[in-house]
């Protein structure tokens, strides 16, 4: 299960400072009174940005792992929220999704780029729509677009700011902004949302 690691670092800073070493989870989310054997469980590596690790803990009684994801990183997608925001922003400013895709992911063909882009755009716009309902006093009059939310907040980097503002609601927001697990056909939560326990990186890297 992913939890928020409140962190103002960029992706590059997170890697260069090895900030996962400073991540702290003092009590088990399932057993706040203790007694479950909750303990740090090393870390796992993400593909992007290169050199990124995520701190992890394990509850033996609950048979569940927990990881702390910094605010700069996208949930359940490689890369940073800034990278996701750049893609969504490009689509919002383009004449069409196809026009935006002509400048993205040049190493793959257009149908693949369209799927890659639409997944990000649909997820972020869904999050913005959800936030309009959750925080109507702040976003109720905003159209569900990054530009409108940026103007309302007075920021350039919208998604990291929203990760902070919407911290109490992250379980209700879809990835990559929030932590709501994907539901496959049948409506049951995706089992992939639970981290695998196996093997940790070498000690020198963990």
- Residues 8-28: tens digit of each pLDDT: 999 999 999 999 999 999 999
Confidence of residue 2 (pLDDT cuts 50, 70, 90): very high
HEC string of the chain equals: CEEEECCCCCHHHHHHCCHHHHCCCCCCCCCCCCCCCCEEEEEEEECCCCCEEEEEEEECCCCEEEEEEECCECCCCCCEHHHHHHHHHHHHHCCCHHHHHCCCCCCCCHHHHHHHHHHHHHHHHHHHHHHHHHCHHHHCCCCCCHHHHHHHHCCCCHHHHHHHHCHHHHHHCECCCCCECCCCCCCCCCHHHCCCCCCCCCCCCC
Give the pLDDT confidence score for residue 101 in this predicted structure: 87
Give the pLDDT confidence score for residue 206 in this predicted structure: 38
Give the pLDDT confidence score for residue 182 in this predicted structure: 64
Phi, psi of 188 (to 5 degrees): -90, 140
- Residues 33-87: tens digit of each pLDDT: 999 999 999 999 999 999 999 999 999 999 999 999 999 999 999 999 999 999 9
Is residue 134 over pLDDT 90? Answer: yes
Task: Return the domain boundaries, the chain.
Answer: 2-73, 81-172
Give the pLDDT confidence score for residue 103 in this predicted structure: 80
Interior angle at CA 81, CA 68 and CA 100, nearest 5: 155
Q: Nearest-CA neighbor of 81 among 170, 168, 199, 185? A: 170
Structure tokens at 145: 């677009």
Decide: 66 and 158 in contact? Cβ < 8 Å: no
pTM score of the predicted model: 0.83
Length of the chain, in residues: 206
Confidence of residue 176 (pLDDT cuts 50, 70, 90): very high
Give the pLDDT confidence score for residue 109 in this predicted structure: 86
Q: What distance in Å separates the CA atoms of residue 69 and residue 171, rounded to the nearest whole number?
A: 13
């Amino acid at each position: 299960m992913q939890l928020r690691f409140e962190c103002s670092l960029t992706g590059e800073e997170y890697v260069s400072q090895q900030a996962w070493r400073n991540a702290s989870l003092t009590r088990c989310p399932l057993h706040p009174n203790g007694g479950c054997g909750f303990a740090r469980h090393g870390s796992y590596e993400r593909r992007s940005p290169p050199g990124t690790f995520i701190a992890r803990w394990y509850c033996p009684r609950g048979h569940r792992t927990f990881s702390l994801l910094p605010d700069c990183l996208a949930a359940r997608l490689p890369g940073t929220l800034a990278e996701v925001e750049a893609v969504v922003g490009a689509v919002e400013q383009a004449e069409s999704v196809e026009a935006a895709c002509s400048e993205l992911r040049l190493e793959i063909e257009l149908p693949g780029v369209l799927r890659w882009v639409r997944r990000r755009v649909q997820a972020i716009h869904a999050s913005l729509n959800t936030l309009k309902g959750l925080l109507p006093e702040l976003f109720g009059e905003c159209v569900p677009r990054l530009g409108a939310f940026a103007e309302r907040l007075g920021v350039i980097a919208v998604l990291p700011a929203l990760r902070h503002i919407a911290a109490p609601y992250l379980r209700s927001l879809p990835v990559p902004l929030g932590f709501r697990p994907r539901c496959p056909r049948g409506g049951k939560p995706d089992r992939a949302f639970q981290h695998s326990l196996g093997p940790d990186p070498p000690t020198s890297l963990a």
